[in-house]
Amino acid sequence: MILYIHGFNSSPQSIKAQQTLAFFQQKFPEINVIIPQIPCYPQPAINLLEDIIVKNQKVIKGVIGSSLGGYLASYFVEKYSVKSVIVNPAVRPYELLGDIQGVQTNPYTKEQFELTAAHMEVLKSIDTPSLTRHDNYWLLQQEGDEVLDFTQAVTKYAGCKQTVEPGGEHRFVGFERFLPGIAEFFQLAQTIK
């Protein structure tokens, strides 16, 4: 099983999520790819993802986390020692989202919700400032990310496998190029079709 965690105000219908699903369905049809709609609020999101990981601990091959999903994935790497590919991750989302507290609308689901300081505290409570499982991470980062400061991720994931590209943008241009490498990182390449 592979778990894909989308970013803030995103959905399973995002381009990277759909590229991931299509690739693994074609090349590894025996691998179940789970791409849940992540709840808008942090604690329900953490609970949902933890439930998926715990229930699938014996079969999980890896986690792909994009933006806020990368932040959440890092928490689970440290807690459960899963392998993860972190794509243009949020490093301190409680600061970034703290600047936009208030009513939000998810552009995919049209769900409205309100971010508060209490939600930022929940995010801060699962921060992983010191990584201990360096071999379990692969950072995919584009320097042209217009939403997040790419140097924060490069610094945080120092000592981990990193691919840092000039240019690009927050959605990570050309993500699909890395899917065969992601399968290999998750130790699936020996069965590629």
Residue 161 belongs to a domain with what CATH number?
3.40.50.1820
Q: pLDDT tens digit string along 112-142?
A: 999 999 999 999 999 999 999 999 999 999 9
The residue segments making up the domain with residue 125 are: 2-191
Split into its structural domains, the chain has a count of: 1
Cβ atoms of 58 and 82 closer than 8 Å: no
Alpha-carbon distances, residue 9 vs 4, 43, 149, 190 (angstroms)? 15, 15, 19, 35
Residues 176-185, mean pLDDT to the nearest whole number: 97
- pTM exceeds cut of 0.85: yes
User: 189 pLDDT band (50/70/90 cuts)?
Assistant: low
- Residues 27-56 have pLDDT tens digits of 999 999 999 999 999 999 999 999 999 999
- Please, which pLDDT band fits residue 192 given cuts at 50, 70 and 90? very low
Residue 193: pLDDT over 60? no
